[in-house]
Amino acid sequence: MPPRRSGVREFELRLDQFVEQVVPEEFNNFKKVVALDALKSILMKNPVLTGRSRNNWNVSLGTWSTKVDEEDLGGPPFGQAPDKVVAEGEAVVNKVQSGEDVFIVNNIHYINLLENGHSLQARDPNGMVRRTVAEVELHYGGR
């Protein structure tokens, strides 16, 4: 006896609904977790003297942020700035929509120097962003 076609078609419709409704939502949730993990990792690796560079990590949706904050926050490497930056980043990430890209950007004029280890405070010349990307790919099964 041949299989019933109506059952296959019904399954296809349910699968399509699942893909259209559940997958984008779950992917969005995953994107939020990865973005916040990456932001926190970058912040903890950011060498600190005045706090300016660490304070200038910005999260944006859909396009690169051009924001630059020149405020000198001072203080030790584990002061208030990381909490403030994470809270601001989390508020942005929580608004991400399906298909929207999340950007983590720093526009302070010397950020490339810090990324390449040109700082007395830099603990690792392999870069805060490069190391974070490698860690995220390893942890979450990237490329």
pTM value is 0.79
* pLDDT value at residue 31: 92
- As a whole number of angstroms, the distance between CA 74 and CA 80 comes to 10
| Degrees to nearest 5, angle at CA 65 with 23 and 67 | 145
Q: Which residue type, as a one-letter code, is found at position 104?
A: I
Compute the distance between CA of residue 143 and CA of residue 134 in angstroms, rounded to an integer: 10
Q: Kindly indicate the confidence band of residue 57, based on its pLDDT and cuts at 50, 70 and 90.
A: very high
pLDDT bucket at 79, cuts 50 / 70 / 90: very low
Q: What pairs with residue 91 in β-bridges?
A: none
Q: Tokens in use for 63?
A: 């396009």
Q: What is the pLDDT of residue 96?
A: 93
The answer to whether the CB of 73 falls within 8 A of the CB of 79 is: yes
Q: Using CA atoms, how far apart are residues 64 and 41, in angstroms rounded to an integer?
A: 19
pLDDT at 78 over 50: no
- pLDDT value for 77: 47
- At 112, list the tokens: 């490339």
What proportion of the chain, given as a percentage, has pLDDT over 70? 79
List, for residues 30-51, the tens digit of each pLDDT value: 999 999 999 999 999 998 877 8
Mind listing the pLDDT tens digit for each residue in 91-141?
A: 999 999 988 999 999 999 999 999 988 777 666 678 899 999 999 999 988
Among residues 43, 45, 38, which one has the least CA distance to residue 56?
Answer: 43
Q: What are phi and psi of 49, to 5 degrees?
A: -120, -60
